[in-house]
């Protein structure tokens, strides 16, 4: 019974974490034109290509986490993605008021995902 509960909770955790990336990737598809323009304004070379590579990484690695397939590799790829994307899209230092608060929330959320993705397996299953 306890093993079944632990397995169910582990799957739920993978579903929530991986699902967040899949959801974000799909949402980024819907906003691709705006995000490409934003990346170009921030001098990202080949902004459209970089955006689509990021979207594919989010969706594929997120799905791998959900499926429990090469989770360490998928999480490592997502951590690297977040290290690059977080300061680019959540640059709260350049904003004021509610916009700044919203960007701080996005930044903190991504940092929390960094920490969760980087957590050793032994601690995740404790």
- The token duo for 1 is 């019974």
pLDDT digits (tens, 9 = 90+) for 69-104: 898 889 888 888 888 887 777 666 666 677 666 766
CA distances from 68 to 45, 61, 71 (A): 33, 10, 6
- The token duo for 97 is 């008021």
Number of domains in the chain: 1
pLDDT digits (tens, 9 = 90+) for 6-50: 778 888 888 888 998 999 999 999 989 998 998 888 888 898 999
Task: Give the integer Cα–Cα distance in Å for 19 and 22.
Answer: 5
- For 42, the domain range is 2-124
């Amino acid at each position: 019974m306890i093993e079944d509960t632990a397995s169910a909770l582990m799957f739920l955790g993978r579903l929530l974490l991986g699902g967040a990336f899949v959801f974000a990737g799909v949402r980024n598809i819907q906003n691709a034109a705006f995000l490409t323009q934003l990346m170009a304004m921030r001098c990202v070379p080949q902004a459209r290509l970089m955006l689509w590579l990021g979207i594919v990484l989010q969706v594929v690695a997120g799905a791998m986490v959900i499926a429990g397939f090469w989770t360490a590799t998928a999480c490592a790829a997502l951590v690297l993605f977040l290290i690059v994307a977080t300061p680019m899209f959540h640059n709260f230092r350049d904003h004021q008021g509610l916009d700044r608060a919203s960007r701080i929330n996005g930044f903190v959320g991504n940092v929390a995902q960094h920490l969760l993705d980087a957590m050793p397996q032994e601690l995740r299953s404790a």
